[in-house]
Amino acid sequence: MTWKEKLGDRIPAESAREIDTFENQIALKRRDRIDDKVFAETRLRRGAYGQRYDNGQRNDGNGVKMLPFPSNGRTKGPDTVWDAPGMQRIKIPFGGVTPEQMDTLADLAEEYSDGICHITTRQDVQLHFVHLDDTPSLMRRLAAVGITTREACGNTVRNVTACPLAGVCRDETFDVTPYARASMRFLLGHPDAQDFGRKFKVAFSGCRQHACGLVNMHDFGAIAVTRETGGATQRGFEVHVGGGLGAVPHEARLFDPFMAEAEVLPTLQAISRVFARLGEKRNRARARIKFLVAQLGIDEFRRLVQEERRRLAPDARWTAYLDDLSSAAEQPLKSGGPLDGAPAESSFAAWSRSNVYRQRQPGYAVVTVSLPLGDITGDQLRGLADVARRFVGDTVRTTVEQNIVLRWVRGSDLPALHRELDALGLARPGAQSIGDITACPGTDTCKLGIASSRGLAAELEQRVRGRMDALDDAVRSLRIKISGCFNSCGQHHISDLGFYGVSRHVRGRVVPHFQVVLGGQWVENAGAYGLAIGAVPARRIPEVVERITTRFIEDRRPDETFHAFTARIGKRALRGMLQDLMPVPDYETKPDYYRDWGDPREFGIGDMGVGECAGEVVSLTEFDLVGAESQVFEAQLELEAGNAAQADGLAYAAMLQAARGLIKTEFIDIPDDPDRIVAEFRTRFFDTGIFFDRFAGGKFAQYLFRRHARSGPPAGVDAARRSIEEAQLFLEATHACQARLAGAPAPAGAGAVSGSPA
């Protein structure tokens, strides 16, 4: 029995088909029938990401050693060994997750991963040390509970995020949840969002003043606003575009101060089309939309988008969800009730001060489950799902601070909930404080990591939490965010105290350092980006935190924020405070400086690999050709199973998909209509001779034309077999044609077309 058989029709048909296709693509890759680059982007678009050491090498502290995986040279991407463990990213739109989904995530962590679910800084869940061969079963089990991994990585629209308090916040303009959900559904797999040069991130905020959805650092960020029109209140969004962190951070630009709610989805579609058409594709370092916005200028970018918007054919999905906004609202599991003063453990008071937020709705609260470094074990997550079922139902969300919130907790339930969380090891106080540190995976699992962000975070948390009660309130509420490199997955730019990993060569050795980033602003939707003031050896970062926070307490003006304080003091003075921490002593005197936090190996950067954050630039044509390969493969399976008619149909569908892919090189909007595909193919590639093989001429195109024209009874076994053979030859000819068009040498398989039997 397999999971596919067991879950059967519990998996939505479209998801089932997609996962079957991915499984077939894995099988084809095993047979070396898919190019490394294409397969890498294919699996990335299913959320199957690479992980550190997947090039088969690791520095064990004594030198770089080969990891002799039994893969026999098989790879799952450029320089990526098949059997090396990888990371599976799982999209959780706006962080919304149900107890049933939590159970499944817990099961998957235990069975396919290392027993840990990791919450990311974009409300996703990540599982590490996953074998590629396990991913189809993993995806089916997720699909059966309504979760997709589609477009979790790669050059796609990533997880759509939103404020975890949306709908219950005391300050929000309105609940942005339905808009985030609709955007996710609309953009997932949308044809206009498949040809980007890089990823595209969308976020929704309910207000301007809080951190909320961190709109300022997103490719597309929307803040809920209203206006009065004709005596009625109209909902809309203040839309910002072109924000992003990374090595070259850009603050988002105002695109529209008031975009009517009905315009959000069509505008996202128009932006996608402009980004796909004009965005950089070759230079990966400048391919995010922020560079396009900067290059064109916001006014020209806006003009192009508006022009594109006018050309779009109407789509009912743009506004369908608006008719039903109120029914999409969460329903509390229990009636509300105030905290009744019932006896509680002594630890309850501290926990409730930091981890409980009073909702807008009287009698209810949001409880933050603070997760150390975003990690939760399978047992804990299952236990939390059980708690959620009994206390709040389906109203659970992940947060960009790598925590989980339970919404709609009845006030009078808080002491009991605290006891239950405590029994699970999940009642850690200090949520959203200086002791609740955000960190990306860094050198633990990321190929790009330079220094150990998690090692440093664990060390700082331990130190800070040891004296949390003694901290001044102004310090307690600060944020620390740490990235393992300059790419800012830990969001160090928008933190009060930010750090990112770098290295320095000192007397012939490599020493882990962190750049100290000050001036960032978490609130006001990531309102300001900090700048690095200097690199300090990793070993001395705890002293950096101590000195700066102490100075803040000593020199702070009444009600002065940390952001204002650092601006007033100035970076020169702040750097001066750290100057004596920067020198690196001799290895013989202080060998600890030459090791990273939590890692006893002598530090080195030889383990770094080529990251997959950027995905691979793969054209729509290449994707269609891979899809066509999968359909031919599926046709063979159907034929083996005695289903001749289905096999014949799949072979025909494969030819259509290949032809459509080729047409997209000239006509990107070619509809998925067989008559139109064949007509366009004939006009553009047959009549012009472009498709013609050097020896066989237009013979392979005739296979498509004949099959398209065929009618009559369903194909028998012989006819189906012939269809598959012809589809395969047509596919090879399409590969060859595509290679000629791209000016590249014809792929090895395509060369065989010339000598193939008719």
Partner 1 sequence: MNAAASAAPDATAVQRIALKLFLDGPAALAPRDVIPVFHRWIQTRAVDGLLIDVADYTHLPTGPLALLVGHEGRYVLDRSGDRLGLQYVRTQPLDGPLETRLRTVAAMLLRAARRLEKDAAPAGPVRFRGDEIDWIVNDRLLAPNKPDTFLAVRPAFESFLDALSGGAPWTLTPRSESGTRFGIHARGPAGVPLETLAGRLDSAAGF
Among 32, 36, 79, 110, binds partner 1 (CB under 8 A): 110
Nearest to partner 1 of 425, 583 (CB atom): 425
In the three-class reduction of DSSP (H, G, I as helix; E, B as strand; rest coil), residue 567 is classed as helix
CB 681 within 8 A of CB 666: no
396 binds partner 1 (CB under 8 A): no
Rounded CA-CA distance 318/266 in Å is 6
Nearest to partner 1 of 14, 60 (CB atom): 60
Nearest to partner 1 of 137, 630 (CB atom): 137
CB 429 within 8 A of CB 354: yes
425 binds partner 1 (CB under 8 A): yes
In the three-class reduction of DSSP (H, G, I as helix; E, B as strand; rest coil), residue 614 is classed as coil
State the CB neighbour count (10 A cutoff) for residue 509.
16
Q: What strands, in cross-sheet order, belong to the sheet with 396-398? A: 96-97, 396-398, 404-410, 364-369, 356-358
State the CB neighbour count (10 A cutoff) for residue 247.
10
Q: In whole angstroms, how close is the CB of 698 to partner 1 at the nearest point?
A: 41
Q: Burial letters for 530-550: b for 16+ Cβ neighbours within 10 Å, e otherwise?
A: bebbbbbbbbbbbebbebbbe
Q: In whole angstroms, how close is the CB of 654 to partner 1 at the nearest point?
A: 23
129 binds partner 1 (CB under 8 A): yes
DSSP class of 314: P
In the three-class reduction of DSSP (H, G, I as helix; E, B as strand; rest coil), residue 457 is classed as helix
Rounded CA-CA distance 160/360 in Å is 24
DSSP secondary structure of 347-400: HHHHHHHHHEEE-SSTTEEEEEE--GGGEEEHHHHHHHHHHHHHHTTT-EEE-T
Q: Which stretch binds partner 1 (CB under 8 A): 101-109, 226-234, 540-548, 650-658?
A: 101-109
Q: In whole angstroms, how close is the CB of 8 to partner 1 at the nearest point?
A: 5
Rounded CA-CA distance 236/176 in Å is 10
Nearest to partner 1 of 101, 216 (CB atom): 101
Among 32, 69, 575, 674, binds partner 1 (CB under 8 A): 69
634 binds partner 1 (CB under 8 A): no
Q: Which stretch binds partner 1 (CB under 8 A): 17-25, 99-107, 142-150, 158-166?
A: 99-107
642 binds partner 1 (CB under 8 A): no
DSSP class of 284: G
600 binds partner 1 (CB under 8 A): yes
Q: In whole angstroms, how close is the CB of 107 to partner 1 at the nearest point?
A: 6
- Which two three-digit tokens encode residue 40? 């890498």
**x/- binding map, residues 79-98, to partner 1, per CB under 8 A?**
----xxx-------------
640 binds partner 1 (CB under 8 A): no
Nearest to partner 1 of 134, 560 (CB atom): 134
Window 321 to 380, contacts with partner 1 (CB under 8 A): 372-373, 375, 377-380
CB 275 within 8 A of CB 249: no
Nearest to partner 1 of 70, 314 (CB atom): 70
Q: In whole angstroms, how close is the CB of 441 to partner 1 at the nearest point?
A: 10
115 binds partner 1 (CB under 8 A): yes
Among 79, 543, 599, 725, binds partner 1 (CB under 8 A): 599
258 binds partner 1 (CB under 8 A): no
Q: Burial letters for 55-92: b for 16+ Cβ neighbours within 10 Å, e otherwise?
A: bbebbeeeeeeeeebeeeeebbbeebbbbbbbbbbbbb
CB 522 within 8 A of CB 212: no
Q: Binding residues for partner 1, per CB under 8 A?
A: 1-3, 5-8, 52-53, 58, 60-62, 67-70, 83-85, 103, 106-107, 110-111, 114-116, 128-129, 131, 372-373, 375, 377-380, 382, 386, 425, 444-445, 454-455, 458, 461-462, 598-601
